Structure 1
Amino acid sequence: MELAPEQCRAARGLLNWTQELLAVRAGVSRSTVRDFERHRHGLHRGTESQIIRTFQEAGIMLLPPGEHGPGVRIR
């Protein structure tokens, strides 16, 4: 699954996580999260996988793009 910047922000919002907290938990830099969410650059596959796994372990479901676009749910 490809993570969209909007999904990343929405997932953090559901968890009440800052960019810094996501970065620490996922093992990436805060600037990586910040720049991705601001559409400044995409993520490397490994980094994207780490962030997705971090969200999933925290109870977030990332929904693929469909009729209404990508989404986020909390379990």
Structure 2
Amino acid sequence: MAASRRQRQAGRTGLTPQQCQAARELLGWTPMQLADAVAMSRATVTLFEKGARKMAVSNQQAIRIALEQAGVKIDAADGPRLA
């Protein structure tokens, strides 16, 4: 199945809400733990994961970097997985 436009865009710039939540859950992190790791509020992370809030690309990239440094590989085609 071809990747959606949103998934292709996320692969180039940041990540999708679904990738964020799946990667966080792979690590066993709560939204608060992720928020602390990237110096954002829990509400910002939660609303982003629910698709209720758009997030700046720079913030998406910060989350992606934190998740990848913690051991998750985020691939648009296969989704998040432990590295």
Q: 1:31 pairs with 24, 43, 56, which one?
A: 43
Number of residue equivalences: 71
Q: Which amino acid aligns with 2:81?
A: R
Q: Give 2:22's aligned residue.
A: 10
- Give unmatched runs, 5+ long, in structure 1: none
- Judge conservation of contact 1:27–1:50 (CA < 8 Å) in 2: no
**Counterpart contact for 1:26–1:51, Cα < 8 Å:** yes
Superposition RMSD in Å: 1.2
1:50 has 2:50 as partner: no
Question: Shift in Å at residue 39 of structure 1?
Answer: 0.7
Distance 2:61 2:18 in 1: 16
TM-score norm. by structure 2 comes to 0.79
| Aligned residue among 27, 38, 41 for 2:53 | 41
Per the alignment, in what secondary structure is the counterpart of residue 3 of structure 1? coil
Gaps of 5+ in 2: 1-10
Tell me the amino acid that sits aligned with residue 40 of structure 1: A
User: TM-score, normalising length from structure 1?
Assistant: 0.86
- 1:9 CA displacement: 1.0
Deviations 1:32-69 (A, max 9, x none): 101001110221011111101100100111111x4xxx
Task: Write out the 4+ residue segments of structure 1 that deviate beyond 3 Å after TM superposition.
Answer: none
Q: Quick one: which amino acid aligns to residue 57 of structure 1? A: Q
